[in-house]
Amino acid sequence: MTVEKEDFRKRVEALINVPTLQGMLEKIKPLMESPNAGVEDIANIISADQVLSAKILKVVNSVSYGFFGRISSLRHALVILGFDAIKGLILSTSVFDAMLAAGFYGLWKHSMGCAITAGVIARKIREPNPEEVSIAALLHDIGKVIIKTELPAESTSLDQAVIEKQISTYEAERQILGFDHATVGEWLCQVWNLPDKLADPITYHHQPDLSCFAQRPTAIVHVANVFVRAIGFGFGGDNLVPRISPAAWEMLDMSDSLVREIIGEMDGELEDAEDFLTANDTEI
Amino acid sequence: MQEIPIRRAAAGMKLAKPALNDRGVLLFATGAELTEDNIARLSKAGVKRVTVEGHPVDTDAQEKDLGQEIAELHARFRSVEKDALMRKIRGFFAERLNERAKEA
């Protein structure tokens, strides 16, 4: 079973199977690039799509649970999160819709858990824009969604390899496909023109040392992915905790007591989030 | 009698010891029957544990759960257990599981 990397890249680049996303991004792009556009202008356009608005608010409230209190308006979400993060959210809600529709609940929960954990770490180490880091974490495995939906036969082989060889999905992808979900994520970031602060953590969450433009956010998402797997929240495709890059760990400079605080806080937030998500029928 | 965390308290249980706040002020006397309302009041007053009549909470099941959770934690770390940093991180998560079990 072989998949030509360049052929698959072209398929990914041609992926416009998320119409809400593409239409919405096209509408708000000029506004995002205009120095005169205000929060109200963008909020008005997104608010016109009530389903999308509700989904965005739901995700925002899930990943920032317990920090801001409830965010009840898109305008409020835009002020807190910023345009880039909202762009990432529009992307994530559309892609995660596809994920849930295809029954990948465990991966969605893993992504939500990673977003919550990254937010906790970012706040604890006083990283600027912790919400943005959360959104990057929410999207970190977006490449897995594309592989699962676009390459179903290969995905079955990947799942088998994970079980039979006791390897991670990441390793299985490299062995069987010749490329991995982080690379697919990178292609998507390019197609959707996402900023480096979102693209780097998605592209390098397994190799944070390679990040050039968003080293700390990438290190945070890398560690958050390890922590959420360690605690066993959701399912990222395998049940193996990956190794943390010593350089990324050193960069975040977390004392033992801070790590304990982070784990305590993430545990509490994940428990709350689980209740919140379950109460909302697990749909985004 | 059994000492239980407040979150395991349920309406209908009876206090076997008085419930005091952290300054020692009596909130409910021995024999008081717990209701949803007064459990909420105790929780709001910062009471973490209460002693109730009988043995209404199955703590043995909790112990088994902890053992299983620790085993699962080790299984998740199986491919990185030779790495000193990862062993340390696993230790932090094991500590958290133990804390949770104590809270329960």
Residues of B within 8 A of A259 (CB-CB) are 89, 92
Task: Report pLDDT for A263.
Answer: 97
Conformation bin of residue A183: beta by default, left when phi > 0, alpha when psi is -120 to 50: alpha
Q: What is the phi/psi pair of residue A253, to 5°?
A: 50, 60
Task: Report pLDDT for A60.
Answer: 75
The pTM score is 0.74
- Pick from A209, A216, A244: nearest CA to A228: A244
Contact A243 B86 (CB under 8 A): yes
Of A230, A240, A249, the CB nearest to B93: A230
Q: What does the DSSP 8-state code read for residue B79?
A: G
Task: Report pLDDT for A204.
Answer: 98
Please say if the pLDDT value at position A82 is more than 80: no
* A69 near B CB under 8 A: no
Size of interface A-B (CB pairs under 8 A): 50
Neighbours of B30 (CB within 10 A): 13
More confident residue, A6 or A281: A6
> In this predicted model, what pLDDT tens digit does every residue of A5-39 receive, in sequence order?
888 888 877 764 444 555 666 666 676 667 676 77
> In this predicted model, what pLDDT tens digit does every residue of B28-76 receive, in sequence order?
999 998 887 788 788 777 787 889 998 887 655 555 588 999 999 999 9
The whole-number average pLDDT for the span A70-74 is 73
Which residues lie closer than 8 Å to A222 by C-beta, 6 or more apart?
Answer: A201, A204, A205, A206, A208, A244, A245, A248
* A117 near B CB under 8 A: no
The Cα–Cα gap between A53 and A12 comes to 26
- Pick from A161, A129, A136, A124: nearest CA to A237: A161
Instruction: Answer whether A259's CB lies under 8 Å from B96's CB.
Output: no
Instruction: Answer whether A42's CB lies under 8 Å from A28's CB.
Output: yes
B80: three-class secondary structure by DSSP: helix
Which residue is closest to A240 within chain B, CA to CA? B76
A33-36: long-range contacts at Cβ-Cβ below 8 A with a sequence spacing of 24 or more? Answer: none
Instruction: Examine the predicted complex and report whether its ipTM is higher than 0.90.
Output: no
- List, as ranges, residues 32-91 from B with C-beta within 8 Å of A: 72-73, 75-80, 83, 85-86, 89-90
**Nearest CA-CA distance, residue A253 and chain B, Å:** 13
Contact B78 A240 (CB under 8 A): yes
Task: Report pLDDT for A10.
Answer: 84
Q: Give the pairing of strands B19-20 and B26-28.
A: antiparallel
B18: three-class secondary structure by DSSP: coil
